[in-house]
Structure 1
Amino acid sequence: MMSSVLLGLCAFNVIAQPFPAAEPLPKASTRALAVETVAERLGHPWAMAFLPGGGYLVTERPGRMRVVNEAGLLGPPLKGLPHIAATGQGGLLDVVLDRDFAKNRRIFFCYAEPDAKDRSLNSTALASSTLDREGNVLKDLKVVFSQKPKLRSSLHFGCRIAQSPDGTLFLGLGERSSFKEQAQMLDSHLGKIVRIQPEGGAVSGNPFAGKADALPEIWSWGHRNIQAATLTADGKLWVVEHGPQGGDEINLVRPGKNYGWPVITYGENYGGGRIGKGVTQAPGMEQPVHYWVPSIAPSGIAELTSDRYGPQWKGSLFIGSLKIQRLHRLQLDGEKVVRDEILLPDLRERVRDVRQGPDGLLYLLTDSSEGKLLRVKP
Structure 2
Amino acid sequence: MSAELILHIITCNCFFLMAFVAWFNPHKVNVVANRWLGLFFAAVGCMVCNVVLYDAGLDAAYPRIIGFNELSRFALAPALYLSIAQFTTPGSKFKASDYLHFIPFTIFFLYMVPFLYFPDYQLIGGHFNLPPKLNFAIGFLVRWSINVQLLVYWVLAFNTLRKHQKHLLLIASDTVPVNLAWLKYLLMSVGGMLVLFFASIFFGIHLSPVVIATGYLLGTLTIFYHSLAQKEIFPFEVSELTAINEVIIADDNQVKPIKQRLSDEQAQHMRIKLESLMTAEKLHLDNELSLPQLADAIGASVHDLSFLLNEKIGLNFFQFVNAYRVEEAKQIMLSDKYKHLNILGIAYSAGFSSKTTFNTVFKTQTGMSPSAFMKQHKSINPSLQS
Bigger fraction of residues in strand: 1
Bigger fraction of residues in helix: 2
TM-score by length of 1: 0.23
TM-score by length of 2: 0.23
Larger radius of gyration: 2
